[in-house]
A and B are shown apart, each in its own frame.
Chain A
Amino acid sequence: MRRFHPASTVTPASLVFVSLASMGLGSCGFEPTIPTLRFELNQNEIDEYPDTLALDPVAQDQLRGALEMLFGTPSNPGYMLVEEWIDDERNPNYGDMELSEDQFDGIVADNTAYFAESLKAIEEGRFEDVRPRREALDMVDAFNSDLSYRAAIQADILLGEAEQAELDELDAVLTEEWTDALTNWYPSLRDSAELYRQQCLHCHGVSGGGDGPTARFLKPLPRDYRKGQFKFTALAGGTPPRREDLFRVLEEGIYMTAMPSFRRFSDAQLHGLVDYVRLLAIRGETEALLAYDYDENEFLPFEKVKEEYLFVWSKWETAADSLIVFDGDVPASTPERIAHGRDLFVDEASANCVKCHGTSARGDGASAFERNEDGELERVKDDWGNPIFVRDLTQGIYRFGRRPIDIYRRIHAGIYGTPMPSHSSLTDPDGNRILSDDDMWDIVHYVRSLSASDPTAHTGDADPAADGSHGAGQ
């Protein structure tokens, strides 16, 4: 009879090892280490920079250093303050200072709801049950420090070295301070950088280049903030976005892309993220200006750095002035408007939408394509170098909102960063506008009618091609 000796993995030594290891991991609150993140220069552009910069690592370090002076690091971001801002008391490191009264009141109301359980715990004296946002690093530290101080007093009371009154007095102070901290909470740039690291960095990248580790699986790609260009704003002309535009993107997401709605976070957090995204965008723009202007004989003098810095800021500050608003009521859709809109849509001398969108509005117009160096047809590229899939208007996919005013704004202002032109700026040789506001409304109603189906159709028997859900995620 053959003897069978299975090799045993369960030896006394292995048992000891496994139990010690699991006790060690379990008891010491295993926390993954966060790598030190650094802002990097724009690797897509670096080859275009002057050779004296592109080929010289020392010059690049100088540039990085200058940008770090202006904008800080991912773990400690912040704007360098300049004397020009003293008089108007500007300090963009505190985003809440830029909010209107109404906006801030809205945030306080939202915080009160968001932190309802923690506020109740404070009221009931259960300070250990209070849960601030974990990325609000300063607040977490302050609360922990208060808790240990409180615990020390409690210990002293037990030892007879302190009075209960002292604890009650402390609790009264903590109640007021903590309630205030939570209801008026607005994240610092550091808090927002931490939230960005947790929620946004994997697609949008450390420096906001749209090049995070999960970006390559996405179509369309995530936004590269570093040009300071954002496609979907409520603004005329190529200007940086307002805070409200970026806030809206966070709240609503971008339809049929991988950018989801982030409503599960509080309004304060979303505003904080807007502040941080703006910092990344301004940093990117400043880097580009300093890099393209780099002169090896000057070595990035402070005055020049400051000049470019303020120049980028000035663009962002004037953005809100170009809000597109339509005075009065949005005109209702009528068959006449739709018919006229169609005429404008196909007319070469007028809006000429068919040029790119195609005669069946499916996004296959001749101008959606161009010939490359080898003579092959390929899609036109946007300002970020990505191929554009011209919108198939029959699908009902509107990236930035399906309200008539949203579509009106797209026609009025175009899409910044793409060949979609600002139709309000189209002029004839005499300088007159080709399309009036009313004309543009007609086009809006025509476009909306393209994606609508028979009014008697209901879900279940509707044609799947008309509902926008079978597109290739464009």
Chain B
Amino acid sequence: MGKFLLRLTTIVLFLLVPVLGTWTFFKAPDWGWWFPQNVSSFGGDIDHLFYVLSVPILITFLGTEFVLVWCILRFSSDKPGKADFVHGNHRLELIWTAIPSVVLVALVFGQMGAWTHIKIDMPRDGEFSPEHPIAEVYASQFDWRFRYPDESGNFRGIDAFESAFDFYVPVDTKVVFQLRSRDVLHSFFVPEFRLKQDAVPGMTIPVWFEATKAGTYDLICAELCGWGHYKMAGRVHVLPRADYDDWVAQQRVALYSNGSDD
């Protein structure tokens, strides 16, 4: 291949990366390859962080890709023999370390609010709190189970009931649950709540969310836990308050069924 053609092909191929990469990123929502709906109160904070991060990432990505192309244009040479020896450029290195550092430190402080809000500031004053969770969520290979307490709030009482696969919660309420694992690492992931929390064996981890829209949402496991990880799923049912109370009452009654409906 002629040298000119080779250079042209290489430049075009390299340029395709930033061009196609950026184009698909902006076209993705039209193709349905974007976020699912957000129905939690703090989901917006997470999405906002994503967009904030996208800006420096986009700038850096396009910048480095174009620099790559510029280097091919500027520095490719027909001369055989020894290459030019460059000792480095201290000023340049200082700049390209300082600017990203400033950006990263800004991000560290900028995201702390969202992290604290979701992971640290557990609701304490409402109906549910880490001491009085709505349920204990047990992750196991390869099942999600939800234990609700008896009427006095005791999870070890004989009238505590368990639901397999289906997690029922009331809408517009700050819900707190305790996440536990029966065997290995799992992760409680509800994409539509933008909520993810690893379930660590041996730990009881409080998790909270507030669902803003009634409906049924997917729950999936987000930490590889074995051969059934891909199909370890559940459903979160967000119900209007009255329906949720009805459901709990129904479960309490169903516990004492005499079996004629089985």
**Contact residues of A with B, CB < 8 Å?**
199, 202, 214, 234, 244, 248, 251-253, 255-256, 258, 260-261, 263-264, 323-330, 333, 396, 402-405, 409, 448-449, 451-460, 462, 466-467, 469, 473
Contacts and interface: CB of A to CB of B under 8 A. Distances in A.
B183 A330 contact: no
Contacts of B155: 458-459, 462, 467
Contacts of A455: 152, 154, 157
B204 A460 contact: yes
Contacts of B162: 255, 402
B154 A473 contact: no
Interface in B101-159: 130-133, 136, 138, 140-143, 145, 149, 152-158
B19 to A, nearest CB: 20
A332 B145 CA distance: 26
Interface stretch (B73-81, B88-96, B207-215, B226-234): B226-234
A324 B259 contact: yes
Contact of B156 (A326, A333, A466): A466
A131 to B, nearest CB: 14
Interface string B150-188: 001111111001101110000000000010101100000
A36 B228 CA distance: 23
Given A402-B161, A449-B158, A452-B157, A253 B143 contact: yes
Q: Give the interface centre of A448, A451, A458, A466 by most chain B CB atoms within 10 Å.
A: A458
Contacts of B260: 325
A264 B221 CA distance: 14
B262 A323 contact: yes
Interface of chain B: mostly helix, strand, loop or mixed: loop
Given A244-B262, A264-B233, A459-B155, A403 B257 contact: yes
B235 interface: yes
A404 B256 contact: yes
B255 interface: yes
B262 A248 contact: yes
A246 B228 CA distance: 21
Contacts, number: 109
Contacts of B256: 329-330, 403-405
B258 A405 contact: yes
Q: Closest 9 CB pairs between A and B?
A: A261-B164, A260-B143, A453-B156, A263-B165, A261-B165, A405-B259, A452-B158, A448-B158, A326-B258
B258 A258 contact: no
A381 to B, nearest CB: 26
Given A202-B227, A264-B165, A448-B158, A459 B182 contact: no
Given A333-B158, A404-B255, 13 more contacts: A256-B182, A261-B143, A264-B235, A329-B256, A329-B258, A402-B255, A409-B259, A455-B157, A458-B155, A459-B204, A460-B130, A469-B180, A473-B182
| Interface range for B | 35 or more
A402 B157 CA distance: 12
B149 to A, nearest CB: 8
Nearest to A456: B154
A42 to B, nearest CB: 25
Contacts of A466: 156
A403 B255 contact: yes
Contacts of A325: 258-260, 262
A255 B147 CA distance: 12
Contact of A452 (B140, B156, B204): B156
Nearest to A405: B259
6 contacts: A244-B262, A260-B143, A261-B143, A405-B258, A452-B157, A457-B156
A405 B156 contact: no
Contacts of B133: 459
Contacts of A452: 156-158
A454 to B, nearest CB: 8
B131 A460 contact: yes
A234 B262 contact: yes
Contacts of A326: 258-259
Contacts of B204: 459-460
Contacts of A263: 164-166, 235
A154 to B, nearest CB: 24
A234 B259 contact: yes
Contact of B164 (A253, A329, A333, A403): A253
Contacts of A214: 227
A327 B154 contact: no
A405 B259 CA distance: 6
Contacts of B130: 460
A404 to B, nearest CB: 6
Nearest to B206: A460
B259 A457 contact: no
Nearest to A333: B158
B255 to A, nearest CB: 5
A460 B258 contact: no
Contacts of A449: 158
Contacts of A253: 143, 164-165
Interface string B247-262: 0000000111111101
